[in-house]
Amino acid sequence: MIEPAERMAIRLTVNGREIAREVTARRSLADFLRDDLMLTGTHVGCEHGVCGACTVLVDGRSARSCLLFAVQLDGATVTTIEGLTPPTGLSPLQQAFCDRHAMQCGFCTPGMIVVSTELLEKNPAPTAGEIREALAGQFCMCTGYVNIVKAVEQAAATARGARGEAS
Amino acid sequence: MRPHTLADAVELLSGGDPDVKILAGGQSLVPMLNLRLLRPAVLVDLNGVPGLDTIAPDAGGGLTIGALVRHADLTAAPLVIERAPLLAKAARHVGHAAIRHRGTLGGSLAHADPAAELPAALVALDARFVLEGGKGRRHVSAADFFQGLLTTALGPDEILVEAHVPPQGPGWGFAEIVRRSGDFAVAGVIAHVRRRPGSAVRCDVARLVGFGVGDRPVRFRAAEDLLLSDDDGLSIARVAGAVACDPPDDVHASADYRRHLARILTGDVLGHALERTEGARRS
Amino acid sequence: MSGPWVGAPLPVKEDVRLVAGRGRFIDDLGLPGMLHAAVLRSPHAHARIRSIDARPALAYPGVTAVITGADAARLSGPIRPLIPTTAAVPDYCLAVDVVRYVGEPVAAVAAMDRATAEDALELIRVEYEALPAVVDPYEAMRPGAPLLYPELGTNVVWHDTLSYGDVDAAMARADGVLRERFVIQRYASTPLETFGAMAAYDPGTDGFEFWTNDQRPGLTISILAASLGVPQSRLRLSCPDIGGAFGNKRRPAYLLICALLSRGAGRPVKWIEDRVENLTALMHACNGVMDVELAYRDDGTLLALGVRDVADEGKNLLTPTQHNLIKLGNIANGYRIPAIRYEAWSVLTNKCPSGANRGIGKPFMCFAVERSMAILARRLGLDPAELRLRNYVTAAEMPYTTPPGAQYDSGDYPATLHTALERFDYAGWRAEQSRARQEGRLLGIGIATSVEPAGTNLASYELVTGRRSVSGSAEAAMVRMEPDGNVRVAIGDPASGQGYETVIAQIVADELGLVPEAVSVARGFDSSVSPWLYLSGNYSNKFSVTDVGAIVGAARLVADKLRRLAGHRLEIAPADLDLRDGAVVVRGAPDRRVAFAELCRTAYADVLGLPPGEAPGLEAHHAYQNPLAAPVDADRRVRSQLVFSNAAHCCLVEVHPRTGVVTVLKYVVVHDCGRELNPLIVEGMVHGSTVHGIGAALLEEFRYDEQGQLLTATFLDYLKPTATDVPEIEVDRLEHPSPFTALGAKGVGEGGAIPGPAAVANAVEDALSAFGVTVRELPITPERVWRWIVRDQKS
C-alpha cells in the first residue's frame, strides 16, 4: 500500500532525454511534465480527457496526459510539443501553422501539433475530411478550425514536395 | 500498485475492498478520479501484467482477445478485421484516437457504460468473458455479464482477463447517432444475424442489440423473435416496429427520442446486415 | 513584403512562440514558496449558511491558510459593481450567510499543492439550511418568489420601457404585425484556458502583486484596491499570455481570495480554475425570452419594432442589465425602423452569474430580428433577401442614427448581402435544393445579416441607474523610440489571441516609417509598466476604435518630435518632413535626411543638442477616447457602442428527417469591418466567431434542473463544436472605412457569433418548410427537430 505522499521512482525518456524522478502515485503525467519537468507547452483544459489540450505522444501514439499517472510511464517514451520543435527554428508543420495563422490564443496549439504530426505520419496525403476527423478530439475556441485544416494540408503538400511526390 | 502477474493482481483485490480499483486504460476511470467522483485508496495498474494484451485466433474460427488490448489495436488488427469486423467497426467509434490508444477492451466492458459501443458489440457477438478471481477462473457470457447501470458480474476480487469471440457471420450492421463524432452514442444498434436460406428477411440467428437505450446493452427480443419466426410476410419495417426498450431520459435526449432512434437504427442495421449476407452469398 | 504595413496580411509574430509551446500562460507562472488554492463551493442553489467550521482543514497536513465568508467580510470590502442597479447590496469574494447558486465560493484553502488543498476542502464542515430556489426568470418575477436578496424586495433589478417614436400608432396603421416569442439558452464562450490568478502579498510594503488572465485589468485593479483597503499605487497587476477570453475572463472575487490567502499565509498563492468550476460558476451569457412585435406594410416596409426582453442574469450583481443595454443598442440590426420600443427585465435567479461573452446579448437580439424577418418574408411571399434589401439603411443615408441613438457610420448593407448571395451561389443552391427534395433530402438555406458594433460608451448605464458614473471608454498607449532607434509600445489592453503584438507593430511602423520588426509590443499587461486607465481592457470590440486611437496618438507624438528635432537640425519646417526607412527625410529632397539613430543620440545622450524648450527622450503616452461617445440625451437616446461593422451570412444545412440531425454543409460570410488592419488576423476572427455562432445554434446549452443543479458541468455534457461539426467558413469582404476612427478600422472580434445562430436557424427552418416548422428556440438539437417534424405530422 502506497501512502498518498509516498514517492515512487520512475525512469522514462522525455523528448529524447532520459529522465529519472520520484513522483507520488496521484501525479498526473500532465502535471509531471508541466511542474516537475518545466515542460509547460502541454496545457490542461478540462482534466477529463475531452478537450485534447493535454495530448502528447506516449510510445509514439497520441494520448491524453491528463488521464495518465506519471507512475504509469516508467519505461515509456514521451514526446511533447517541446520535442516536436527543432533546436532552432520551427518544423515544417509548425511553419505551416504560422504561415496559415492556424492559431490565435495558442492554448490548443501544442495538442493540435501533436495530433497533426501523428496524422501525417500515418496518412501523408489526408483529405480535408480526414484532417477534420483526426482533429475532432481537439477543441479550439478561437480559430474555427479553418486555418488549422489548411495548415495541415499545406504541411502535407510540402512534405510530399520534399519527397518529390506529386501533390 | 503495479503487479507483474495476474495472480498478484488478484491478490491485491482479494480483500474485496471497494476502495481498490483496477487501472487499465484509464480513459473512463481517471476522469472520475479527476472529478472526485471516485476516491479509490489503491489503484491496481494492470498494464504491467504480461499476456493480457494479445489477440489470438481460436481453432473454431473465432478470437481470444486479451482484456488489455487497446481499442486502437482492435480497429487495426488484421485478425479482428477478418474474423470480427463488427468489433473493429464498433471500436472505431470509441472516442478519438488519443482515447483509443489507451482505452482497453476490458476497461470498457468492466466499466459497462450503457451507451458504450463495445459491450453491445460483444453481446451481439455472443462472446464469453473469462474472469479471474480469488476463487479461480470462470466464464460468463456477455449476455449475463452486463447486469445494470455500470454494473457487471465481476466480483469485487475479480478481473476480466479475456474475451472469447465466436466466429462472426457476414450478416452484421452497426449504426449509432451521436451529437458529435466520437461522443457516447445517444442511441445505437448492432445487428448480427444469419439470414435463412430462401428468405429475404427471416433469419435463423438473430441478435439485435441496442446501446444507449437502457441501463445495459439491450437485446430487442420481440424484434428478434419476429426475425426467427415463420412469418413470410416479414419486412424490415415490421421488425423495426417491434423494437421495444425502456431508455433513459437525460440532458442529451429523452426516452421517447431514444426509442424512436432504436427503431429506425434497427431498420438500418438490419438492412445492412441482410445486404452484407447477400453480398457474401454471391461472392 | 514592404510598407505600408497596415492592411498587409503580415504573419502573426506571436504565432512563432505559441506554435512551439512557448507561450507563458498563468498556470505556467510560479514563485518560490508558492501555495496552491482550492475553493469550496456551494452544493445548493439557495441556502443559508448556518455554520462553517474550517478548522479541520487548517489542521490538515500541508495546509497553510483557510478563509471563509466571515473572514472575507472582515478582511475585505464588498466588490464594487460596474453597473450599480440596486442600493448597495454587499457582495464579497466568498458567500456570507447565504449561498445563491450552485458553485458559489464559500471558503478557500491554500496548501502545498492543489490536490492537498482539494483534500482539505472536504474537511470543512458547512451546515446549510436549504432555501427554495428559483431558476426560471418568470417564476423569479412572480410575487412570492424566493428572493435572492430579500432586502431588495424583488428579483427584478431593472424593469423599464424605452420608447422611440410612436410604436402604437405605427402598429395601428400597419398592414400587419408579426408577433413571435423567441427563447434562447444559456451558453458561454468558454475559452480553452480557464481563469486563474496568482497573488503575492508583500508585508514590507503592505502591497500586493497579482498575475492573472483577467481581461479588464483597469477595472479589476480598482476593485481590488477598494476591497483590500490598499491604494492602487500599492498594487501591481500583470497579465501574461491569455488563452482566449471572449468576455468571460473577469471575476475579481478570485483575485481577492488569492490575496487574502496570501496575506494570511505570508506566501504567494495561485489558483487555477478547473473546467467544472469554469462551466458551473464563472459566467454564462443571459438566457431569456424575447417577445417581438414587428409592424409592416404589405410591400415589406418595416414600420415599427416592439421588443419585450426578459434576461435571466443568474446571481449577477456586478453587471446586471449589460445584456439588455447592448441589445437595445443593436436592436435595429441595420434596418430602417422608424419607431422602436424596448421593454426589458433584468432578473436575478439562483444560477451562475451572467456576464460578458462573445456578443453579449447581440446574438439573441439578432436572432430575434433575423428570425422575424425570415418569418415575415414567408408570410408576405417575399424572397428573404428581397425583404431585407427593402429595409436596409443605405450607404447614402450614413451616418444614420437609429431611434435609440445608435449611429451607423459606414457600410453598404445591400452590397454585402448581394456579394454573399453571389459567393454562396444562392440561385444554384436553390435549384439544388429542389432537386434534392425530390430525392427525399432536406436541404435548407439560411440568410442572416447583422451589424456589429465596436467600442463602447458606458454612459449608456445611465439609462438604468439614472445617473452617470462611468461613461465612454478609453485606452492608453505608450510609444517609445529607444536609444538604439527601435521602438517599444505598450497599451493597457491585454491580448487574448487577437495578434496585438503584430498589428500594433504594423500601425506604429507606418506612423514612424519603420519596418514592423523594429517595433516591439509588450506582451500582455503590467500595471507598473503599461499605460492604463480605469477603462483599460479588452471588451466590446474596442481595439479598433479606442486602442488604435491611443496607439496612433502616441505614435504621432513621437513622430512629431522626430520631425521637430530633425527640422531643427536641417533647418526645415517639420511640416515638410516625412518619416521613411528609419530616417526623417525632406519631402522632395530625399538625400536630405537625418537617421533616427542620430536623433536618438540627441534625444537621449547628447541632450545639449536638443532644440530650446524640447525635453529629452522620445517617448509619448496618449490616452484616447473616441469622440462619438456622448451622454444619454433628454430623449434617452445614446450611442452605447460607437461604430458599426456589418456582415451577411449564408449557410446551407441538411436536415435528416428521421433523426433530426442537422449538418452544416456550407457557410459563407461576407463582412465589412472597415479598414482591415491585418487581413490574416481579421479572417481568423471571422472563422472563429462564426463557429461560436454555430455552436450556440446547434450544440451548446447550460441546463439546470428545478433545484438549480447544473446538469451540464463538464465537456461531456456541455457540447462545444469540433472540427467535424462545422464546415470551412468561406469569407469575403467589403471595406467601407469608418470616418470616425483613427485608421478607419471597425470591430471584428464578435463578428460571426452575432448572426450565426440566426443563419443556422433560418436554414433549418427553410429545410423543414414542408413541415410548417417555425424555429423559435435554441439550441436546435436533433431531438427538437424530430419533435417539430412529428408534431407537424400529427397535426
Which pLDDT tens digit goes with each residue over C541-576?
Answer: 999 999 999 999 999 999 999 999 999 999 999 999
Split at pLDDT 50, 70, 90, the class of C422 is very high
Confirm or reject contact between A45 and chain B (CB < 8 A). Answer: no
Residue C286 reports pLDDT greater than 80:
yes
- The answer to whether B219 touches B209, Cβ cutoff 8 Å, is yes
**CA atoms of C663 and C436, how far apart (whole Å):** 15
Cross-chain residue pair A144–C690, CB shorter than 8 Å: yes
Which chain B residue is nearest to residue A67, measuring alpha carbons? B30
For residue A4, the chain B residue with the least C-alpha distance is: B41
Q: Do A115 and B97 touch (CB under 8 A)?
A: yes
Partner residue facing A67 (CB), from B30, B42, B181: B30
Q: State the Cα angle at B27 between B26 and B33, rounded to 5°.
A: 65
Calculate the average pLDDT of chain A.
95
- Strand, helix or coil for residue C667: strand
What percent of chain C shows pLDDT beyond 70?
100
Say yes or no for a CB contact (<8 Å) between C659 and B254.
no
Q: How large is the average pLDDT for residues C276-284?
A: 98
Of residues C188, C137, C291, the one with CA closest to residue C776: C291
Q: Average the pLDDT over A129-134 and give the result.
A: 98
Whether B181 contacts chain C with CB within 8 A: yes
| DSSP structure string for B122-142 | HHHTT-EEEEEETTEEEEEEH
The pLDDT of residue A1 is above 50: no
Residue B16 distance to chain A (closest CA, Å): 15
pLDDT at position C311: 98
Q: Is the pLDDT of residue B147 over 60?
A: yes
The stretch C229-251 carries a mean pLDDT of: 97
CATH for the stretch B50-165: 3.30.465.10
Question: What is the reported pLDDT for A11?
Answer: 98
**What are the chain B neighbours of C657 within 8 Å (beta carbons)?**
none
Distance CA B208, CA B203 (A): 12
Per-residue model confidence (pLDDT) at position C84 = 85
Shortest Cα–Cα distance, B107 to chain A (Å): 14
Task: Give residue C795's pLDDT.
Answer: 72
Q: Is the pLDDT of residue B128 over 50?
A: yes
Place of cell 481453432: B59
- Between helix B117-124 and helix B85-92 the angle, nearest 10°, is 170
Shortest CB distance from A64 goes to which of B23, B45, B98? B98
Asked if A98 lies within 8 A of C193 by C-beta distance, the reply is no
Task: Return the closest-CA partner of residue C505 out of C515, C495, C519.
Answer: C519
Overall residue count recorded for chain C in this entry: 795
pLDDT at A3: 63
What was the pLDDT predicted at A4? 64
Percent of chain A with pLDDT over 90: 91
CB distance B251–C712 less than 8 Å? yes
Q: Do domains B50-165 and B172-282 have the same CATH topology?
A: no
- Using an 8 Å CB-CB cutoff, list chain B residues near A115: 97-98
Which whole number is the average pLDDT over C39-45?
Answer: 98
Does residue C237 register a pLDDT over 70? Answer: yes
Q: Domain B172-282: what homologous superfamily? A: CO dehydrogenase flavoprotein, C-terminal domain (3.30.390.50)
Chains that touch B (3 or more CB pairs under 8 A): A, C
Q: Which residues of B touch C719 (CB under 8 A)?
A: 179-180, 183
The pLDDT value given to residue C355: 96
Percent of chain A with pLDDT over 70: 96
What residues in B contact C702, CB-CB < 8 Å? none
CB C679 within 8 A of CB A147: no
Contact criterion met (CB < 8 Å) for B257 and C118: no
**Res. C675: pLDDT tops 80:** yes
User: Are A48 and B35 a contacting pair at CB < 8 A?
Assistant: yes
Task: Report strand pairing: C519-521 vs C63-68.
Answer: unpaired
Mean pLDDT for B257-268 is: 98
Q: Which residues of C touch A148 (CB under 8 A)?
A: 723
Note whether C724 contacts B180, CB cutoff 8 Å: yes
CB contact under 8 A, C782 and B186: yes
Between C756-767 and C679-698, two packed helices, what is the crossing angle to 10 degrees?
A: 50
Share above pLDDT 90 across residues of chain B, in percent, rounded to a whole number:
89
Cross-chain residue pair A142–C688, CB shorter than 8 Å? yes
Q: Is pLDDT larger for residue B14 or for residue A40?
A: A40
CA distance B73 to C654: 34
Domains in chain C, CATH or no CATH each: 13-20+474-624 (3.30.365.10), 31-131+192-245+249-282 (3.90.1170.50), 287-458+632-794 (3.30.365.10)
- pLDDT tens digit sequence for A79-129: 999 999 999 999 999 999 999 999 999 999 999 999 999 999 999 999 999
pLDDT at A167: 52
- Contact residues on chain A for C685, CB-CB shorter than 8 A: 104
CA distance C403 to C342: 11
Beta carbons of C684 and A142 less than 8 Å apart: yes
CATH topology of domain A7-84: Ubiquitin-like (UB roll) (3.10.20)
Is the confidence at residue C324, as pLDDT, over 50?
yes
Distance from CA of C620 to the nearest CA of A (A): 29
Tell whether B50 lies on the interface with A, counting CB pairs under 8 A. Answer: no
Say which of B180, B252, B261 has its CB closest to residue C659. Answer: B261
Query: Are residues C661 and B261, on separate chains, in Cβ contact within 8 Å?
Result: no
Interface ipTM above 0.90: yes
Instruction: Break chain A into its structural domains and give their ranges.
Output: 7-84, 92-162
Using the 8-state DSSP alphabet, how is residue C81 labeled? P
CB pairs under 8 A between B and C: 40
- Tell me what percent of the residues of chain C surpass a pLDDT of 90: 97
Question: Is any Cβ of chain A less than 8 angstroms from the Cβ of B99?
Answer: yes
Chain C residues whose beta carbon lies within 8 Å of the beta carbon of residue A99: 11
The ranges assigned to domains in chain B are: 50-165, 172-282
- Given CB atoms, is A99 within the 8 Å cutoff of chain B? no
d(Cα B93, Cα B82) in Å, to the nearest integer? 18
The whole-number pLDDT of residue A6 equals 82
In the CATH hierarchy, which fold is given to the domain comprising A92-162?
Answer: DNA polymerase; domain 1 (1.10.150)
Whole-structure pTM value: 0.97
* DSSP secondary structure letters along A32-99: IIIIIS--TTS--S-SSSSS-TTEEEETTEEEEGGGSBGGGGTT-EEE-GGGGS-SSS--HHHHHHHH
Reply yes or no on whether the pLDDT at C621 is more than 60: yes
Q: How confident is the model at residue A166 (pLDDT cuts 50, 70, 90)?
A: low
Measured between alpha carbons, how far is C589 from C392 in angstroms, rounded to an integer? 50
Q: What is the DSSP string of C253-293?
A: HHHHHHHHHHHHHTS-EEEE--HHHIIIII-BPPEEEEEEE
Contact C276 B35 (CB under 8 A): yes
- Nearest in space to C753 (alpha carbons), one of C539, C312, C452: C452
- Of A4-18, B118-132, C334-348, which range is least confident? A4-18
